[in-house]
Amino acid sequence: MAYLSSSGNTRRVAEAIHSALPDSIMMAMTDVGPLDGYDLIFAGFPVIAEGPPRKARRFLGRARGKKVALFLTHGMPASMDGFESVVPNCRRAAAGCELLGEFECQGNMVWWMPKLLRLYPRGRVRRWAKMSGEAHGAGHPGEEDLERARAFAAEVRGSLTVS
């Protein structure tokens, strides 16, 4: 399993997935060498600018043809206007892979991010920036998110052994 994480949210989800798959290996995405030999890759990253960060896009390009399950963390609540494009953007970045599923949950935003977003002149990003608390992922990933992540990992793994 390969993950990117700058403030630790996606890493916590990665650890939960790793704990549900005892024979998995967990690595920072940037440390992963050639992908031949891996049957199933869990690839996780934070959502940046409504999609995968560049390093994740590059990694997913390298994973073409492989069985891949995505996991992502994002600051915005999934119910918020604008979120609807996030998961499709991530799926598109994995278009060359055999995508087995995706997991998403909120992740608390670093303190300076809302301040930065407030510089947007207008529109929904600025409105989002002016909110606080759960609107910026406070308290996430929490135990419930991590439990869902473990269940996701087991489900993806199970889907391979059943068929």
Query: 83: which DSSP letter?
Result: G
Q: Which is nearer to ligand FMN, 116 or 160 (CB)?
A: 116
The two tokens of residue 104 are 């998403």
99: helix, coil or strand? strand
Q: Which is nearer to ligand FMN, 40 or 110 (CB)?
A: 110
Site for ligand FMN in 21-50 (CB under 6 A): 46-50
**Tally of CB atoms within 10 A around 6:** 12
CA 116 from centroid of its chain's CA atoms: 22
In angstroms, what is the minimal distance from the CB of 99 to ligand FMN? Answer: 20
In angstroms, what is the minimal distance from the CB of 83 to ligand FMN? Answer: 7
Site for ligand FMN in 68-127 (CB under 6 A): 73-76, 107, 109-110, 113
Alpha-carbon span 133 to 93, nearest angstrom: 30
Between the alpha carbon of residue 156 and those of residues 8, 103, 134, 138, the distances in Å are 23, 10, 28, 28
Chosen residue from 63, 137, 149, 156 binding ligand FMN by CB under 6 A: 137
Q: Which is nearer to ligand FMN, 7 or 19 (CB)?
A: 7
Query: 108: which DSSP letter?
Result: P
Q: In the complex, which residue's CB is closest to ligand FMN?
A: 107
Binding site for ligand FMN (CB under 6 A): 5-11, 46-50, 73-76, 107, 109-110, 113, 137
